[in-house]
Amino acid sequence: MEIARASALAEMASGVAHELNQPLGAIATFSQAGERMLSRPDPMVKQALDVFRQINLVALGAGEGIQRIRRLFERVSPQRTRCQLPELTAELLPILDILALRAKGSVRVDAASPVPDLLIDRLRIQHVLFALVQNAIDAGAQMPAPPSVRIDISADRYSVETGVTDSGPGVPEELHAQLFKPFFSTKPHGTGLGLASSRAIIESHEGIIGFNNVAAGGSRFWFRLPIAAS
């Protein structure tokens, strides 16, 4: 546990440093410019004031970014209600369809009926489903054909499993161990927080989350949640 905690703290420190490098660089550049403006024989006071305003905006933006990251990982107890996973998915489907249509793709849902009830925080589980479908669409968009996403829901005696299968290139083996780590992203402008926050949400529900590459191509991300007591 100590080794795992030290490793997690090192990853978090590295990620925060990465997030702060750009605004700190901007602050340093603006500060040097302001100093030069005020060190002239005829100080450029008006322009220097504009530079200081920019410094203030960049610093506030960096602070807000760190607060958003912190809120994602706060351990707040879920507000749980009894519900059905197919119903929760159907409620979110119009939004998922819009996501897919933007990439000229499609989303299909295959749900066993009925499935056992779950005791979950609806919005948080919908957040996980949204993040997984968004990643699936992005993965499928890397291929020549339009992205195709399949959501499947099934159950056994102990849990309900939800899978999101994409039509992308699959996950390279060298990335398997890093996918759910905070701040790791394969996207040019990704935050690396979608899968990490999804894992935190699923684990707060006593569930598990994982993925497998599909033999026919693409990958399937899944999560299992324990069924509610009768």
Q: What is the 3-state secondary structure (H, E, C) of 165-210?
A: ECCCCCCCHHHHHHCCCCCCCCCCCCCCCHHHHHHHHHHHCCCEEE
Say what the pTM is. Answer: 0.64
Domain chopping of the chain, boundaries = 2-72, 81-226
Distance CA 55, CA 185 (A): 28
Distance CA 182, CA 135 (A): 15
Q: What is the mean pLDDT of residues 171-191?
A: 63
CA-based nearest residue to 99, from 144, 137, 128, 126 = 137
Whether the Cβ atoms of residue 221 and residue 209 lie closer than 8 Å to each other: yes
Q: What is the mean pLDDT of residues 68-97?
A: 79
Distances (CA, A) of 157 to 48, 81, 118, 184: 68, 20, 12, 35
Q: What is the mean pLDDT of residues 78-95?
A: 89
Distance CA 103, CA 205 (A): 32
Model confidence over 47-57: pLDDT tens digits? 989 989 988 88
Q: What is the mean pLDDT of residues 127-145?
A: 90
Model confidence over 36-80: pLDDT tens digits? 999 999 999 999 899 899 888 888 877 777 776 666 555 555 578
Please state which CATH number belongs to domain 81-226.
3.30.565.10
- pLDDT at res. 86: 94
Distance CA 122, CA 85 (A): 9
**CA-based torsion, 50, 54, 56, 60: positive or negative:** positive
Q: What is the mean pLDDT of residues 129-140?
A: 91
Whether the Cβ atoms of residue 228 and residue 118 lie closer than 8 Å to each other: yes
**H or E segment to which residue 59 belongs:** helix 45-72
User: Where do we find the tokens 């994602």?
Assistant: 72
